[in-house]
Amino acid sequence: MVEHYPGFNAAGNEQWLTRYYFSRAVFSLIWVALAFSVGRQSTAGAAILLIVYPAWDALANFVDLSRNGGTAANRTQAINVAMSAIATLAVFPALKTGMHAVLTVFGIWAILSGALQLGTAVRRWKHVSAQWVMILSGAQSALAGLFFIAQSHASTPPVIVKIAGYAAIGALYFLISAIWLQVRRMRRSTS
């Protein structure tokens, strides 16, 4: 892993990350609301939401790595983009197999993307505040992935509900990080 960012500007990057984390939180909260409303009522709606979620993660990670030095400086995020894209594509055949297969795909993806998110946060730790939250988020994601795989054959609530709970916790982590960065910026500007 590269330990620096080419052309790194801590203040500008923190401001950008604040907006980025807020946007990830808002998207996830909207997705959760749609999952609990549309996804529970419509099989097609649930399928679309299950495809959109990892696709959004791939796009969001790509935007972040592009903004912060590209793939050479952000290998964990570059791999995360690829894993999220693969997960998006894997959801299609999993949907045809059944919801247990979808939960398995999401479990594998959550483990890998959580570990990669944790790696990205550790790398950013020296340069950017609020990374402790992203470290917790990555670890929680990996654990959730293990639970998804373990529960993939159990008779439990609909898959969309399980994944919506996971997404809601992820939104909370992004929101806490965004607020943490915003408060830190405000304190610095008043001192």
pTM: 0.89
- Whether 169 shows a pLDDT value over 90: the answer reads yes
Residue 2, pLDDT score? 37
Residue 34, pLDDT score? 98
Q: What is the pLDDT of residues 48-93, one digit of tens each?
A: 999 999 999 999 999 999 998 899 989 999 999 999 999 999 999 9
Reduce the secondary structure of the chain to three states and give it as a string: CCCCCCCCCHHHHHHHHHHHHHHHHHHHHHHHHHHHHHHHHCHHHHHHHHHHHHHHHHHHHHHHHHHCCHHHHCHHHHHHHHHHHHHHHHHHHHHHHCHHHHHHHHHHHHHHHHHHHHHHHHHHCCCCCCHHHHHHHHHHHHHHHHHHHHHCCCCCCCHHHHHHHHHHHHHHHHHHHHHHHHHHHHHHHHC
Q: State the pLDDT confidence band at 155, using cuts at 50, 70 and 90.
A: confident
Average pLDDT over residues 105-118: 97
- Whether 7 shows a pLDDT value over 90: the answer reads no
- Whether 40 shows a pLDDT value over 50: the answer reads yes
- Whether 5 shows a pLDDT value over 50: the answer reads no
- Whether 148 shows a pLDDT value over 60: the answer reads yes
Average pLDDT, the chain: 90
